[in-house]
C-alpha cells in the first residue's frame, strides 16, 4: 500500500507542474475578500484616536496635535477593527499585503495631514520609530 502510494506521488510529481509559485515572476492571486494592508485617506481623518484605542495589538498611533497617523505594519493582524470603528470611514483594507521589508523601521508607515489651506499632501515613510 505504501509502495503504491509512493509510486502515485512520484508519477504525479513527474507529470504535474510544481506546487510552488515562481515568485516574484508569478504574483500571488488574492481573493477579493482577502484581508490585507490598512490604508488611510488622511485628509478625511479627524484624529479622534478611536482606531488606535480599538487596535488589539497597538499597531496604530494617532497624534492629534501633530495631525499624524502611524501604523506599524508588522504589528497588524488584519482584524479590521480599526476600519469598523472609524467614524469618518477614512480607513480601508486592501486585499493584498504590504511589501516585504528587510529593516524593522521600514514597516512603520507615517501619514501626516496637510495644513489647511494648502494643496500639499505630505506622505512620509518613517525609518526609525523613536
Which residues sit at the interface with ligand SF4, rule CB under 6 A? 38, 40, 45-51, 54-57, 59-60, 62, 69, 71, 76-82, 86-88, 90-91
Give the DSSP letter string of 29-44. P--TT----EEE-GGG
Question: Shortest gap between Cβ of 40 and ligand SF4 (angstroms)?
Answer: 6
Question: Shortest gap between Cβ of 22 and ligand SF4 (angstroms)?
Answer: 30
Q: Which is nearer to ligand SF4, 28 or 53 (CB)?
A: 53
Q: Which is nearer to ligand SF4, 17 or 67 (CB)?
A: 67
> Grid coordinates in use for 119?
494643496
479622534: which residue's cell? 48
Q: Which is nearer to ligand SF4, 6 or 94 (CB)?
A: 94
Spell out the residues 6+ positions from residue 93 whose beta carbon is closer than 8 angstroms to its own.
35, 36, 37, 38, 39, 78, 80, 83
Amino acid at each position: 500500500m505504501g509502495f503504491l502510494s509512493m509510486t502515485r506521488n512520484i508519477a504525479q510529481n513527474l507529470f504535474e507542474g510544481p506546487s510552488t509559485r515562481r515568485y516574484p515572476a508569478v504574483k500571488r492571486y488574492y481573493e477579493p475578500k482577502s484581508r490585507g494592508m490598512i490604508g488611510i485617506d488622511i485628509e478625511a481623518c479627524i484624529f479622534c484616536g478611536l482606531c488606535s484605542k480599538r487596535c488589539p495589538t497597538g499597531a496604530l498611533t494617532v497624534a492629534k496635535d501633530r495631525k499624524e497617523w502611524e501604523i506599524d505594519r508588522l504589528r497588524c493582524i488584519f482584524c479590521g477593527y480599526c476600519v469598523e470603528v472609524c467614524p469618518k470611514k477614512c480607513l480601508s483594507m486592501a486585499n493584498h499585503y504590504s511589501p516585504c521589508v528587510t529593516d524593522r523601521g521600514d514597516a512603520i508607515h507615517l501619514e501626516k495631514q496637510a495644513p489647511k489651506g494648502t494643496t500639499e499632501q505630505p506622505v512620509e515613510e518613517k525609518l526609525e520609530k523613536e
